[in-house]
Amino acid sequence: MVDAFFSSGGGRDLSLKDKFLEFNWGFLLLLFAISSMGFAMLYSVADGSFDPWASRQMVRFAIGIVILFVAAFVDIRLWMNLAYPAYAGALVLLVAVEFIGFAGMGAQRWINLGIVQLQPSELMKITLILALARYFHGLTHEEVSRLRNLFVPAVLLGAPVALVLKQPDLGTAVLLGAVGVALLFLAGLAWRYFIIAGVGALAALPIAWNMLHDYQKRRVFTFLDPESDPLGAGYHILQSKIALGSGGLFGKGFMEGTQAHLNFLPEKHTDFIFTMLAEELGLAGGIALLGLYMMVLFFGISVSLQTRNQFGRLIAMGVTINFFLYICINVAMVMGLLPVVGVPLPLVSYGGTAMLTLMFGFGLLMSVYIHRNMEITRNPSAFW
């Protein structure tokens, strides 16, 4: 039974040694490089001190690496079997946060599990990918586009999005929705569904608008015209743009950013850390970070293309897209291209849950990479 659990779906088991040999160490170095830029910025935010942010972020990164290894060395088929239970667990937590969670930054997002404080919505980002990948792994190309087969993914996606929206956390809801939709797309769902959904979404926009909270509406207004209220809500976007612009090509120098250090920048250790980086290290520093990010994305996409099982392919792309969306939304936000939503810059922004879930996600990606040549039957749930 146990043996079957681990080896369900066929394919040859890999030894620990094989896994070590297959592990992509270069990718780990890449993550370390990105995180290090984060450490440097957190050191700068604290006016040249590891305390309180940089040191803790380093500890989290170290823990994250452990998680990454564990996740990477777990057999991909085990992940497949764990996909639904993990999703169910995350969903339960997400419901629980409604009742026993506590508020941070004006939204009900946190749950206290004794020793750790957890954001179930972060966990959901990974488990949703697992669940959807698991589901679509079992469908043929034809089956994917059948209407009756859309019910399950619609529930898998809709439930967490609705719960997160209720918290309210628009940023995470958008991220979850976008990752889910991308997975549907990658799974091969016919184009017509996307066209219909697009038209439907446009039509529903006014209704959705009315359901937004006041502060969310204000953020959108502010985004549309930041200069309208330079001392009010638009202040953050304006100050962020000033910080970026004044950075110039090579920046004001490490720890020399006036906008950041004189507190004109809001949330500079979390959501606006990219602004600070670009102020102190300039366009060069910003592009360097984006370059490193792109290498991660490239790695993720190439893993997905090499992988010979649909579950792994979807996981790899899901993790990559999630990562990409984080970057894109955060950077676009600080440059005034998107409204201010609470999305951190992955691996760089200070924050425990985000760091750990990301590393977990990369662990899955690495697991996919290690098991990329493993072929898994479409319906491995025979034993289940």
Partner 1 sequence: MLMDGKDNVRYKTFSRRAALIGGLQFAAFTALASRMYYLQIIKSGEYTMLAEENRINKRLLAPLRGEIVDRFGEVLVSNRQNFRVMLVPEQTPHIEATLEKLSRIVPLPDRQRARIIKDARTSPSFLPILVAENLDWETFAEVNIHEPDLPGIVPDVGDTRHYPYGPDLAHVVGYVAAVSEKDLEGKDDPLLKLPGFRIGKSGIERELDQELRGRAGASHVEVNAYGRVIRELAKDPGVPGAQVSLDMEVQKLATERLRGESASVVVMDIYNGDVISIVSAPGFDPNDFNIGISQKKWDALLNDPYNPLLNKSIAGQYPPGSTFKPVVALAAYESGMIDPNQKVFCTGKYSLGSHDFHCWKKHGHGAMNMHDAIMHSCDVYFYEVAKRIGIDRIEAMARRFGLGDTLGFEVPGEKKGFVPSQGWKRATRGEPWHQGETLIAGIGQGFLLTTPLQLAVMTARLANGGKAVTPRIVRKVGSELAQNGPLPDLGFSQSGLALMRKAMDSVSNVPGGTAYRSRITEAGMELAGKTGTAQVRRISRAERESGVLKNEDLEWRQRDHALFIAFAPVDAPRYAISVVVEHGSSGSGTAAPIARDVMKKVLERHPQREIAMRRSNEWREG
Return residues touching partner 1 (CB under 8 A): 10-11, 140-142, 144, 182, 185-188, 239, 241-249, 258-259, 262-264, 278, 282-283, 286-287, 290, 293-294, 297-298, 301, 304-305, 308, 310, 313-314, 317, 321, 324, 328, 331-332, 335, 337, 375-378
Give the length of the chain: 384
Rounded to a whole number of angstroms, the minimum distance from the CB of residue 239 to partner 1 is 8
Instruction: Specify the residue, 123 or 129, whose C-beta has the smaller distance to partner 1.
Output: 129
Rounded to a whole number of angstroms, the minimum distance from the CB of residue 310 to partner 1 is 7
Q: What is the DSSP letter of 186?
A: H
Locate 252 and state its tokens.
């004001």
Cis check for the bond before 230: say yes or no (omega within 30 of 0): no
Instruction: Specify the residue, 36 or 258, whose C-beta has the smaller distance to partner 1.
Output: 258
Instruction: Specify the residue, 176 or 376, whose C-beta has the smaller distance to partner 1.
Output: 376
Instruction: Specify the residue, 108 or 246, whose C-beta has the smaller distance to partner 1.
Output: 246
Instruction: Specify the residue, 244 or 358, whose C-beta has the smaller distance to partner 1.
Output: 244
Instruction: Specify the residue, 151 or 191, whose C-beta has the smaller distance to partner 1.
Output: 191
Rounded to a whole number of angstroms, the minimum distance from the CB of residue 149 to partner 1 is 13
User: Do 326 and 175 contact (CB within 8 A), yes or no?
Assistant: yes
Rounded to a whole number of angstroms, the minimum distance from the CB of residue 373 to partner 1 is 12
* Alpha carbon separation from 257 to 41, 49, 212 (Å, rounded): 11, 15, 35
Rounded to a whole number of angstroms, the minimum distance from the CB of residue 99 to partner 1 is 31
Cα–Cα distance for residue pair 56/38, rounded to 1 Å? 12
Q: Which candidate, 321, 322, 323, 305, places its Cα nearest to that of 313?
A: 305
User: Do 332 and 312 contact (CB within 8 A), yes or no?
Assistant: no
Cα–Cα distance for residue pair 319/316, rounded to 1 Å? 5
Rounded to a whole number of angstroms, the minimum distance from the CB of residue 103 to partner 1 is 20
Instruction: Specify the residue, 10 or 232, whose C-beta has the smaller distance to partner 1.
Output: 10
CB atoms within 10 A of CB 313: 22
Rounded to a whole number of angstroms, the minimum distance from the CB of residue 111 to partner 1 is 30
Locate 224 and state its tokens.
């549309």
Instruction: Please report the DSSP string for 219-276 in residue order.
Output: HHHHHH-GGGSTTTTTHHHHHHHHHHHHHTTT-S-TT--HHHHTT-SSSTTTTTHHHH
